[in-house]
A and B are shown apart, each in its own frame.
Chain A
Amino acid sequence: MPSHTFTVNGESVTVDAPDDLPLLWALRDLLGIRGPKYGCGIDVCKACTSHLDGEAVRPCVVPVAEAAGREVTTIEGLADGDELHPVQEAWLEQDVAQCGYCQPGQIMAAVALLKRTKNPTDADIDEIANVCRCGTYFRIREAIKSAAARMG
């Protein structure tokens, strides 16, 4: 069984898994990191959105071998110790989450967007295609704008 070493949320990890095992299952089932959620397995619902070297990816379609030597960040690694990321703070302020299942992915997508664009327009926000089945989209939009203001 091939072995893959990469960094998850600042810690080096090694997993034994077939090269083509989707990173999502290495994270969830081998490493017990359950923030990234399964919703479709084909990069459509985007519930598993996490970061690979700082860019948003969907671990359900990233083979674990591709993560080797790279840095994976999941929702668990977003806060700085006890200090939440400004996007998480904005999420709390706007009371965005309903059931919460899509929210780790929504937050990780928002963080990636704010990294690319300091002051995203409505059109930029529209490009986040993560499904929220509770339909919280408007609060997500407000939270992203609020986070952009916080992050200056």
Chain B
Amino acid sequence: MPGVLDVVTIGTGVAVVAETFGQALDGKEALDVTWGPGTVDALSDDGIKARLKAATPSLDVLGLLVKKVEGEFDFAFASHAPLETNSAVADVRSDGAEVWLGLKSPIIAQAAIAKAVGLPVSKVKVHVVQSGGSFGRRLFYDAALEAAAVSKKSGRPIRLMWSRIDDTRHGRMRPATHHRVRATYAAGQVLTFQHQVAAVETDFRHGLGDALTAAAASIPSGIGNATFAQTLFLTTVKSPYNFGLTTQTLTEVPLKMHTGSWRSVYSANTRGAEEIIVDELAAKLGKDPVAFRREFLKTARQRAVLAKVAEEGDWGRELPAGWAQGVGFHDEYKACTACLVEIDATDPKEPRVTKAVIAADVGRVINPRGLEAQMLGGLTDAISTTLRAGLHIDEGLPLEGSYSQFHYARQKDSPKDVQIYVIEGADEPGGAGELGVPAAVGAVANAYARATGTKPRSFPINFDVDFTPFPR
């Protein structure tokens, strides 16, 4: 074929080497490959959901007269969908190797590349370059391993890039989760709050950027990774409310799927579901969602960000039928945030978040515009994954193959009015990169619930297969 220079089989697939990517992609289409079986070929969404549900521990047995609010939630897999597909440059020679790519764990990547190409670590030079946003995807350095393997076999420098379809179907994704949440109450007080989460295992084998934790996470039979998962869950997921006896547990279901941390890891789904229950609890107690949160939040700092969005967002203002406001709150990373949105769900299948008001206290502010940008990005991620963006798994693979099918928000889905207020807080700077997602998930879901009079339980809310999948 014109421009095609080489075809190389490596451990993870077949690489077409060409003068241009256009010709390489044509070459890829022309390949006739007999693939071995996948790791979860028998599994589709229904089976995965059933396994997650079965793995979710039951809630505590209650007396018949105990008053309660409860819900069971499902969140679909979500693609990292980095706009820049998986990519790396590698030049592997007999006496040394150089690679260039966007990386979050370059030290362990260097060691892995050295091992893969059979060179001492000192002979492998890794250049960490700026890359497209990956939202967790580039914790993994598989592109470097592939580019290096192709370079070694083909005997030339390689600029490797995955096609969009491969990136969507064979990349990484946020695991699907199932949730059982219940609060009990009496005499206007919340007595207990229990949340059992089951998730398809999140792959943390990249470690925390160093060789030791990567090795620990990679201990076979899942023990290492499972320990990591529990530690992360227990240190990151907490309730900001005085809800009496509070328990939150994670049960992982180890399916051999390409998963990975996705902006805010467990918190988007876990705290998102909790914020929905908080609204339902407020309703049961006959309280306004903002007033209820104000009453049960633990600290003045938390109440201040909530008060800010209620005031600036004119909480409680009159809206037309089919429209509603919704609020969500989140505390993590030594920071806290509240999000208030307005949604137009006149057509429940085509809802639009029209306005968002966000307040954040992340301690000392280093880069205010950058901080606002992170909150804006978190909002857009929440709008996407709450309303329309997810992956359907069909016989082991996502049906979605591009942005025409994985419905990440566009301009038309994004609010025309966004106000972000930064509250300068305590001295120590907290984190903002992931902070915005969970509160906004709660706000969008709660606004949708109030606008439509429904109780959203399965996310994304509008998740029909509204496309013809590309051939497998």
Looking at chain A's contact residues, the main secondary structure is loop
Q: CA–CA, A141 to B412, complex, Å? A: 11
The distance from the CB of B195 to the nearest CB of chain A, in whole angstroms, is: 27
B89 close to chain A: CB less than 8 A:
no
Residues of B within 8 A of A29 (CB): 19-22
Interface bin, chain A: 35 or more
Q: CA–CA, A62 to B297, complex, Å? A: 56
A129 touching B402 in the complex, CB below 8 Å, given contacts A25-B20, A38-B161: no
Contact B21 A25 (CB under 8 A): yes
A70 close to chain B: CB less than 8 A:
no
Q: CA–CA, A140 to B19, complex, Å? A: 35
Contact A141 B416 (CB under 8 A): yes
Contact B376 A138 (CB under 8 A): yes
Residues of A within 8 A of B81 (CB): 133
A137 touching B20 in the complex, CB below 8 Å, given contacts A41-B25, A42-B402, A101-B83: no
Contact A131 B84 (CB under 8 A): no
Q: CA–CA, A50 to B99, complex, Å? A: 30
A129 touching B83 in the complex, CB below 8 Å, given contacts A39-B164, A101-B133: no
Q: CA–CA, A5 to B131, complex, Å? A: 32
Q: CA–CA, A134 to B112, complex, Å? A: 29
Q: CA–CA, A100 to B20, complex, Å? A: 23
Of B2, B82, B411, B418, the contact of A133 (CB 8 Å cutoff)? B82
Of A102, A126, A141, the contact of B83 (CB 8 Å cutoff)? A102
The distance from the CB of B413 to the nearest CB of chain A, in whole angstroms, is: 8
Q: How many A-B residue pairs have CB under 8 A?
A: 127
Looking at chain B's contact residues, the main secondary structure is loop
CB-CB contacts below 8 Å: A22-69 with B: 22, 24-26, 28-30, 37-42, 44-45, 47
Residues of B within 8 A of A22 (CB): 22
B449 close to chain A: CB less than 8 A:
no
Residues of A within 8 A of B403 (CB): 39-40, 44-45, 131
A37 touching B83 in the complex, CB below 8 Å, given contacts A42-B402, A42-B404, A137-B380: yes
Residues of A within 8 A of B164 (CB): 39-42, 45
B432 close to chain A: CB less than 8 A:
no
User: 18 A–B contact pairs at CB < 8 A?
Assistant: A25-B21, A25-B23, A26-B22, A28-B20, A28-B21, A29-B19, A29-B21, A29-B22, A42-B402, A100-B132, A101-B133, A130-B411, A135-B380, A136-B376, A136-B377, A137-B380, A138-B415, A141-B411
